[in-house]
Amino acid sequence: MIEISDLHLTFGIGRSRVQPLDGVTLSVAKGETFGIVGESGCGKSSLLRCVSGLESGWTGAINIGGIPVSLVRKGADCRIVQMVFQDPYGTLHPRHTIETALSEPLRAQGMDRSAGRIEEALVSVGLSPSFASRYPHQISGGQRQRVAIARALILKPDVILLDEPTSALDVSVQAEILNLLADLKNDRGLTFILVSHDLAVIAHMCDRLAVMNGGRILEELRPENLRTGAVSNAYSRELIESSRVYAVR
């Protein structure tokens, strides 16, 4: 479903030059959940932004569904890949109702914005249709993230990019959101790329994962490698060990 080859992304020039991505190559099969782990600033979110079309200054190649994507995507090309961000409150306009938030991607794509479509989207993420008239400050963090997921799904994409989708939520709510995502993936045959600092989440959700550092992919692993610590790269080993020490404390 996703083929990325020699992906580079650079910001600035001269001494201010920063290179978030330095030759990333990976592939994700249709229906797979692919995880990306690494420390802050290693390029995880930048990679998702390139795949989603939010960054246009990259070089290399990105193919989605066997079709090369352009630097600037328009129209129907934007429906194929949708993204769920880390902060569900920051991605919802505080003065717009939930109905308006869900209608916006439909309006941008020239699609039907009927009340029935909005209700269907809310019900699909476990929310009552009555939520359509509420504002973001009137619902909980977990409910806001469900709205963000509904907004990503309303265009019926093939690929969902998840950038730390549970890190801003209470621990008691995180499992609910992860289970919801797993159910939606299975029901709709979706392909996920999941970025998370929580290795337990990655081990639970993902079929494969990549360890990133300095804008590069150091190695690809299976979830069992996280559990057993059977990795070949020293940085990957340190990342796993630090996660275990933190969990114990």
> Which amino acid is it at 78?
C
Q: What does the alpha-carbon distance between residue 5 and residue 27 come to, in Å, rounded to a whole number? A: 8
The pLDDT value recorded for residue 83 is: 95
Q: Which residue has the tokens 């996920």?
A: 192
Task: Judge contact between 138 and 81, C-beta under 8 A.
Answer: no
The pLDDT value recorded for residue 72 is: 86
Task: Judge contact between 9 and 60, C-beta under 8 A.
Answer: no
Strand order in 67-68's β-sheet?
18-28, 2-11, 59-64, 67-68
Tokens of 27: 């592939």
Q: In the predicted model, what is the mean pLDDT of the chain?
A: 92
> Which of the residue ranges 172-176, 209-213, 218-222 would you say has the lowest mean pLDDT?
172-176
The range of the structural domain enclosing residue 139 comes to: 88-156
The answer to whether residue 104 is domain-embedded is yes
The answer to whether residue 197 is domain-embedded is no
Among 65, 54, 46, CA closest to 2:
65
Q: The pTM is what? A: 0.92
Q: What does the alpha-carbon distance between residue 88 and residue 61 come to, in Å, rounded to a whole number? A: 30
The answer to whether residue 137 is domain-embedded is yes
The answer to whether residue 96 is domain-embedded is yes
Quote the number of domains for the chain. Answer: 1
The pLDDT value recorded for residue 15 is: 86
The answer to whether residue 172 is domain-embedded is no
The answer to whether residue 249 is domain-embedded is no
The pLDDT value recorded for residue 248 is: 39
Task: Judge contact between 100 and 84, C-beta under 8 A.
Answer: no
The answer to whether residue 126 is domain-embedded is yes
The answer to whether residue 220 is domain-embedded is no
Task: Judge contact between 190 and 31, C-beta under 8 A.
Answer: yes
Q: What does the alpha-carbon distance between residue 8 and residue 48 come to, in Å, rounded to a whole number? A: 13
